[in-house]
Every structure is written in structure tokens, then in C-alpha cells.
Amino acid sequence: EAGVTQFPSHSVIEKGQTVTLRCDPISGHDNLYWYRRVMGKEIKFLLHFVKESKQDESGMPNNRFLAERTGGTYSTLKVQPAELEDSGVYFCASSLWTSGGDGYTFGSGTRLTVV
């Protein structure tokens, strides 16, 4: 079974540019999550999709962040325009709808550096 795939693995962009991160969850996983870890701090929740619908986007920091999940499959997270404080590692995770106490399967993350 393929895991959760994220790309790019690294991205370096200038302040004011746009970046799009992509996450391919495990096939059949209805739940898809985005998390972010800013250097040295805890991993924070950004948002949660159930299939193509946004179930919870309370963690999105501001309207420069836009997440989509096309047809309930892969998801993209766009940052436009990027600011210095957006630098960090962005993680995607997925889980089955029926999973109870199981943890999620995480991707390897995208390390975003805004200069």
C-alpha cells in the first residue's frame, strides 16, 4: 500500500511569491489533514477534509492560505502571497473514516522556506 505522499519535499521561495503544496493520501482514506510545524515549536493543526468537504478549517492562520481537495482525492495547500513567518514544515496526514483510536498516516512533509 502506498503511503501518504507529499511534494515538493523542499521549497524555497521569496516573500510575496506563491507556493502550492500537494498531498496524495492513502487511497480510500476519507479524512485528510494538514498540519504545520514552525521551527522549534509544536505541530499545529491547519485543517481537516472529509472527502472533498472542509470539516474544520479553524487552524488556518489567515486568508493567504487556501486548501482544496479535488474530488476527495489529493489535496493542495496554496500560500499566496508567502510571508517570512510561513516558513516551516507542512505535514499532511490521512485516515479512514471509520478509524477510531488509531493514529494517522503522515507524509514526509514539505519544508517551506520563505526568504
Partner 1 sequence: AQTVTQSQPEMSVQEAETVTLSCTYDTSESDYYLFWYKQPPSRQMILVIRQEAYKQQNATENRFSVNFQKAAKSFSLKISDSQLGDAAMYFCAYRRAETSGSRLTFGEGTQLTVNP
Assess contact for 86 and 18: CB atoms under 8 A.
Answer: no
Piece of the chain touching partner 1 by CB under 8 A; list 19-27, 41-49, 62-70, 75-83:
41-49
What is the C-alpha separation between 36 and 101, in angstroms, rounded? 22
Residues 6+ apart with CB under 8 A from 60: 46, 47, 67
- Among all chains, which residue has been given the C-alpha cell 490521512? 94
Q: Is 11 in the site for partner 1 (CB under 8 A)?
A: no
| Residue 99 touching partner 1 (CB under 8 A) | yes
- The one-letter code for the residue type at 85 is E
Q: Does 109 bind partner 1 (CB under 8 A)?
A: yes
Regarding 15 and contact with partner 1 (CB under 8 A), the answer is no
Q: Which is nearer to partner 1, 55 or 80 (CB)?
A: 55
Residues that bind partner 1 (CB under 8 A): 3, 31, 33, 35, 40-45, 48, 50, 55-56, 59, 89, 91, 93, 95-104, 106-109, 111
